Amino acid sequence: GNSVTQMEGPVTLSEEAFLTINCTYTATGYPSLFWYVQYPGEGLQLLLKATKADDKGSNKGFEATYRKETTSFHLEKGSVQVSDSAVYFCALSDQGSNSGYALNFGKGTSLLVTP
Amino acid sequence: DGGITQSPKYLFRKEGQNVTLSCEQNLNHDAMYWYRQDPGQGLRLIYYSQIVNDFQKGDIAEGYSVSREKKESFPLTVTSAQKNPTAFYLCASSISPIGPTEAFFGQGTRLTVV
């Protein structure tokens, strides 16, 4: 079946530090991969996506590359800001046995950036 | 503005009561989804619908029911059979149920059993 594993948090960084949040996946087909961000008390917002191997998704300084050989989609940002503090979810969309193409999520990684 | 609207934002339920969470979208999306979020567990799929008048159980459907009578609406009922309903509920939609695609989310409803 499909699954997503991401590093557990919380992750605490100082402002302007480099961020990496690891994400690996298992899929039976050819999934699309996503990173979502959730601010306290809110829904999820799409941060970036990649639809095929070697694609790089990018948005607001965040990047992630779809690596089929390592089944990974790690999220990176070169210099984090206090406003990046949130929970980040890695997700995939692929044909599931009982879920159609519904997104399958990792457990989320909480990021706290301190001034 | 196009988007997904969930209501209410906060909901309190007494033991043994059924409650219905509203989800409306004006994105003209075919597929809609309900997820449950608990601390440290990510999002788990409750039900999904790929087309009007059709819906399928997700991974944790027990104690929940849905309907899809209109394309833009996908209400979720949390029944008294759901043993631990306190959670954050998220509704989402995607443009097509065919093929991998991103989903767009509402702002969520926080349900608390009192």
A103/B98 CB distance under 8 A:
no
Cis peptide before B8 (omega within 30 of 0): yes
Ranges of residues in chain A whose predicted pLDDT is under 50:
none
Model confidence at B41, in pLDDT bands (50, 70, 90)?
A: confident
Averaged pLDDT score across all residues of chain B: 93
Chain A hits for B106, Cβ within 8 Å? 43
> Residues near B23 by Cβ (< 8 Å), separated by ≥ 6?
B4, B5, B6, B32, B34, B73, B74, B75, B76, B91, B106
Instruction: Choose among A46, A44, A33: nearest CA to A92.
Output: A33
Q: Are B91 and B106 in contact (CB under 8 A)?
A: yes
- What is the mean pLDDT of the segment spanning B51-67? 95
> A9-42 burial string, b = 16+ CB within 10 Å, else e?
bebebeeeeebebbbbbebeeebbbbbbbbeeee
B102/A93 CB distance under 8 A:
yes
pLDDT at A75: 98
pLDDT at B109: 97
The closest CB to that of B97, out of A44, A46, A101, belongs to A101
* CA distance to A28, B62, B101, per residue, from B53 (Å): 29, 20, 22
pLDDT at B33: 96
B43/A89 CB distance under 8 A:
yes
Q: A57 in contact with B at a CB cutoff of 8 Å?
A: no
Q: A60 in contact with B at a CB cutoff of 8 Å?
A: no
Q: B11 in contact with A at a CB cutoff of 8 Å?
A: no
B41/A43 CB distance under 8 A:
no
The closest CB to that of B103, out of A31, A51, A103, belongs to A103
pLDDT at A97: 60
Q: B63 in contact with A at a CB cutoff of 8 Å?
A: no
Q: A43 in contact with B at a CB cutoff of 8 Å?
A: yes
Q: A44 in contact with B at a CB cutoff of 8 Å?
A: yes
A106/B100 CB distance under 8 A:
no
Chain B hits for A42, Cβ within 8 Å? 107-108
d(CA A114, CA B8): 33
